[in-house]
Amino acid sequence: MKYSKIIGVGSYLPETILTNADLEKIVDTNDEWIFQRVGIRQRHIIGQSDDTVSTMTVNAARKALENSKLQANDIDLIIVCTSTHDYLFPSAACIVQRELGIDNNCPAFDLNAACAGFIYGLSVADQFIKNQTARNILIVGVDALTKTVDWQDRSTCVLFGDGAGAVVLQVSDEPGILATHIHAAGRYTDALSAKSLLWSSEPPSIHMKGNTVFKIAVTQLGNIVDQTLVKSGLQKSDIDWLIPHQANSRIIEATAKRLNLSMDRVILTVAEHGNTSAGSVPLALDYALKQGKIKHGEVLMLEAFGAGLAWGSVLVRY
């Protein structure tokens, strides 16, 4: 049996940092209000810089490729997970292919599952490797949701940051990805949405029913933790680290409690990064590796929840 193993990780964050104190100057809010509700102190934003979703994607992808020790043309599939690409077409994946000099005509496509995008992307990539149709896959999670927020809506503008994270998956005889689960509930599409400029005369902005999203996220992420453990045959005690979507510290704490994990076994970047949507989980993974927290052979539970409503998990032995 063939497995998918993570062999390279990389990330990119814009240089501009927007703190809660900065937000106090433009909207009716304060640091205490924001931190108590979601656990965020600051976020990186594209702002007025030259960064775009495309450049963030390429920068994170380049670092992951370098860390993998592969050559560009070793990559035989590219998946970019985003809901905020700066082009309608071509795909961000094709731009990565061009910028990295991958000229082997490998397939490249974008995937949109909002904040759950990277988890969906890992699940899809795992199938390609198990089906023996790809050997080295580059997956990038990236978003720039600060380009879509209404800066006068304090219920949403305080939540989001911009950034990108990437991994390279390689076929392996040793277990890497142990189990994946992805789900969606389209009946809740109105709970979290942002309309395209193509079909609206108003500027794009995020609309969220916060209480609805919170309740469903806590319930479904708890359920998916149990489903993933059953599928893998592991126990809660086998999990070394939880690497969750960095949206809300209270949701993260609820998931950790379901796993019987203390918070010192949870990778937290929400205070510094905010909610970077599809970039959230790979950014947190790269952060943890740079901090020397995660060791080879340890078991990681990755999970995310977002608009769709869509959610998923990946259990991986690093």
The question of whether 94 is a catalytic residue gets the answer no
Q: Which residues pair with 305 in a beta bridge?
A: 311
- List 44, 181, 245, 273, catalytic entry: 245
**Dist. CA 120–CA 183, nearest whole Å:** 9
- Would you give the DSSP letter of residue 211? H
- Say how far residue 57 (Cα) sits from the centre of its chain: 12
Phi, psi dihedral angles at 22 (to 5 degrees): -65, -40
The question of whether 157 is a catalytic residue gets the answer no
**Dist. CA 66–CA 61, nearest whole Å:** 9
CA distances from 147 to 31, 53, 157, 195, 296 (A): 22, 10, 10, 13, 37
**Dist. CA 310–CA 314, nearest whole Å:** 14
Residues 6+ apart with CB under 8 A from 204: 147, 148, 194, 195, 196, 197
Ordered DSSP codes for 145-166:
GGGT--TT-HHHHTTB-EEEEE
Residues 6+ apart with CB under 8 A from 20: 29, 30, 31, 34, 35, 40, 41, 42, 158
Tokens matching residue 187: 């009946």
- List 20, 112, 248, 275, catalytic entry: 275
Cβ pair 312, 183 in contact under 8 A: yes
- List 81, 94, 115, 157, catalytic entry: 115
- Residue 2 neighbours by CB distance under 10 Å: 13
First to last CA, the chain: 18
Cβ pair 117, 135 in contact under 8 A: no
The question of whether 115 is a catalytic residue gets the answer yes
Which residue intervals of 195-274 are DSSP H helices?
210-232, 249-258, 270-273
* Catalytic site positions: 115, 245, 275
